[in-house]
A = this chain, B = another copy of it.
Amino acid sequence: MRKLLLVSAVLLVAAAPPSKPKTPSEIVADAPPSAWRDIPADDLLVMDLRNGAQVVIQLAPQFAPVHVANIRALAKGGWWSGAAIYRVQDNYVVQWGNNESTRPLPQGVVAKPPAEYHRALKGLAVRPLGFADPYAPTAGFAAGWPIGYDSKAGTANLAHCYGYVGVGRDLSPDTGTGGELYAVIGHAPRHLDRNIAVVGRVIEGIERLSSLPRGTEALGFYKDASMHVPISAVRLGSEIPAGARPAYQLMDTQSASFSAYVKARANRKDDFFIRPAGGVDLCNASVPVRKKPA
């Protein structure tokens, strides 16, 4: 018989007897409705690839409002017609876009957005991670997102975790319009934190990006256009008729369920584990997302 090997971080297995501490997945499965928040339809970016795959991104207007407004205007303005995935670099990013130098930006798109690489800590209710972080003075969660933050400087930034989406840019002071995006498909490249506008995360279909063939040119660019993966449509959730619109919920990072989840992620006690780690990396305590129950 094939060995089960490793119990997944996210998937779950049979119900444990009551004496055992709950696994992270059991905590998520058992979380009460009050622990979940609907994700607004206007915060969903639904990308259809011509190969039939669909990828759903949750936008983070709390952290990069001008870039997110751009991304909404680009979707509504038909920017993505003719766009493609043209770069897949192993253990790094998948990148897609349209030609920003030859194509006019749709109406309402700010050509030179401010550097929304961090925001004010003030106004955010923070749930500290409680474990060390090599990239920020402290790490935690706010408004459903993983952040690094600096209480002294009063700033907070989204973290480049697996599946997180950022805005391609040239050298500073260019910050990118949002017309070229990338998603992380490897070990979190947190050195990019506070250097790029992070605008959201893939909440469904990241495996349709991460399993694409790697580009063979420098930085993972595809050698020629025949390898590109064309994008057939990018729509906001709010542009999709209510009946056909996908709907998701996010675990409230201020909820007791989320606290229990982080604690369990740091102290795995499933039968498979012998020595709980006693800690967890910010990007390994990914905020639970689910399809909204009918």
Contact A5 B265 (CB under 8 A): no
B-contacting residues, A152-190, CB 8 Å: 161-163, 168-172, 176, 180, 182, 186-190
Partner of A2 from the list B11, B86, B268, B284 (CB cut-off 8 Å) is B86
Q: Distance (Å) between the CB of A153 and the closest chain B CB?
A: 11
Q: Does A121 contact B (CB under 8 A)?
A: no
The range of chain A's interface size is 35 or more
Within 8 A of B (CB), among A230-277: 265, 268, 271-277
Instruction: Decide yes or no whether A114 CB sits under 8 A from chain B.
Output: no
CA distance A132 to B101 in the complex (A): 42
Which residues in B have their C-beta under 8 angstroms from that of A91? 9, 162-163, 206-207, 210
Tell me, yes or no, whether A37 is within 8 Å of chain B by CB: no
Q: Within the oligomer, what is the number of copies of this chain?
A: 2
Please report the C-alpha to C-alpha distance between residue A224 and residue B272 in the assembled complex, in whole angstroms: 25
Contacts of A182 on B, CB cut-off 8 Å?
A: 5-6
| A244 to B9 Cα, complex, angstroms | 40
Distance between Cα atoms of A91 and B268 in the complex (Å): 18
Q: A102 → chain B, closest Cβ, in Å?
A: 9
C-alpha gap A161/B276 in the complex (Å): 18
Contact (A100, B3) CB under 8 Å given A92-B9, A161-B187, A219-B8: yes
Among listed A54-62, A64-72, A193-201, interface-contacting one: A193-201
A286 vs chain B, min Cβ distance (A): 9
- A213 touches B (CB below 8 Å): yes
B135 touches A191 (CB 8 A): no
Q: Are A8 and B92 in contact (CB under 8 A)?
A: yes
- List of B residues within 8 angstroms of A196 by Cβ: 6
CB of A1 closer than 8 Å to a CB of B = yes
A8 close to B206 (CB less than 8 A):
no
Cα–Cα distance between A185 and B221 once the two chains are bound (Å): 20
Cβ-neighbour of A90 out of B191, B210, B275 (below 8 A): B210
Closest chain-B Cβ to A14's Cβ sits at a distance in Å of 11
Which residues of B are found within 8 Å of A190, using beta-carbon distances? 277, 281, 284
Contact across chains for A162 and B186 when beta carbons are under 8 A apart: yes
B265 touches A191 (CB 8 A): yes
21 contacts between A and B (CB under 8 A): A1-B99, A2-B86, A3-B180, A4-B170, A5-B182, A6-B168, A6-B189, A7-B219, A8-B220, A9-B92, A90-B206, A91-B207, A91-B210, A131-B134, A134-B280, A171-B272, A187-B284, A190-B277, A191-B277, A194-B275, A210-B210
Additional pairs, 18, CB under 8 Å, beyond known A2-B86, A4-B170, A162-B187? A2-B97, A3-B97, A3-B168, A6-B219, A8-B89, A8-B218, A9-B92, A91-B210, A117-B274, A134-B282, A187-B187, A187-B281, A187-B284, A188-B284, A190-B284, A194-B274, A210-B210, A210-B214
